[in-house]
Chains A and B, each alone.
Chain A
Amino acid sequence: MFIDNTDHFTHNPQMRNLIVLLLRYGGFIVFLVLEIFCMFLVVRYNRTQREIYVNSSNVFSGSLNTKVSNVTRYFNLTNTSDSLAVENARLYEKLSNLDLDRLMKDSVYVASDSVNQFRFISARIINNSINKNNNFLTIKKGRLDGIKPRQGVVSDKGVVGIVRNVSDHFATVLSVLHRQIRINAAVKRTNNFGAIAWRGNDPTIVKLEDIPTHARPIVGDTIITSGNTSRFPKGITLGVIDTFWRASGSNFYDIEVKLTNDFNSLEYVYVIDNEYIEEQLELEQQLIDEQ
Chain B
Amino acid sequence: MNSDLIRNIWRFVLLVLLQGLVFKRISPDGSLFYYVSFIIFPLFIFLLPFRTPTVLLIFIGFLTGLSVDLLFYDSPGVHASTCVFSAFIRPLVLQILEPKSGYNLNQSPVKRQLGMGWFLPYVSIMLFLHLFFYFSVEVFTFVYIGQILLKTILSFFFSLLFIIAYMYVFDPEE
Contact = CB atoms under 8 A, between A and B. Distances in A.
Nearest to A29: B55
B146 to A, nearest CB: 15
B62 A38 contact: yes
A45 B91 contact: no
B8 interface: no
A22 to B, nearest CB: 9
B113 interface: no
Measured as residues with beta carbon below 8 angstroms from the partner, the interface class of chain B is 20 to 34
B58 A34 contact: yes
A41 B54 CA distance: 23
B55 A27 contact: yes
A143 B93 CA distance: 85
Nearest to B80: A38
B81 A26 contact: no
Given A42-B137, A48-B140, A52-B140, A28 B88 contact: yes
A26 B77 CA distance: 22
Nearest to B82: A38
A28 B54 CA distance: 9
A167 interface: no
A46 B58 contact: no
Interface stretch (A53-61, A74-82, A117-125, A273-281): A53-61
A139 to B, nearest CB: 50
A40 B80 CA distance: 11
Interface in A24-49: 26-28, 30-31, 34-35, 37-46, 48-49
A42 B81 contact: yes
Contacts of A26: 54-55
Contact of A42 (B59, B77, B91): B77
A69 B87 CA distance: 43
B84 A38 contact: yes
For the residues of A in contact with B, the DSSP-based class is: helix
For the residues of B in contact with A, the DSSP-based class is: helix
Contacts of A43: 77
A60 B141 contact: yes
A38 B68 CA distance: 13
B137 A31 contact: no
B88 A31 contact: yes
A275 B162 CA distance: 85
Interface in B37-62: 54-55, 57-59, 62
Most buried by B among A30, A43, A60: A30
Contacts of A60: 141
B6 interface: no
Contacts of B141: 52, 58, 60
B78 interface: yes
Contacts of B88: 27-28, 31
B128 interface: no
A52 B139 CA distance: 9
B76 interface: yes
B77 A30 contact: no
Interface in A145-168: none
Most buried by A among B57, B59, B85, B140: B140
Contact of A38 (B55, B81, B91, B140): B81
Contacts of A45: 75-77
B148 to A, nearest CB: 13
B169 interface: no
Nearest to A26: B55
Nearest to B142: A58
A52 B87 CA distance: 27
Interface of A: 26-28, 30-31, 34-35, 37-46, 48-49, 52-53, 58-60
Interface of B: 54-55, 57-59, 62, 65, 75-78, 80-81, 84-85, 87-88, 91, 137-138, 140-141, 143
6 tightest Cβ-Cβ pairs between the two chains A and B: A41-B77, A27-B54, A38-B81, A42-B77, A31-B88, A45-B76
11 contacts: A26-B55, A30-B58, A31-B87, A41-B77, A41-B81, A42-B77, A42-B78, A48-B140, A49-B137, A52-B141, A59-B143
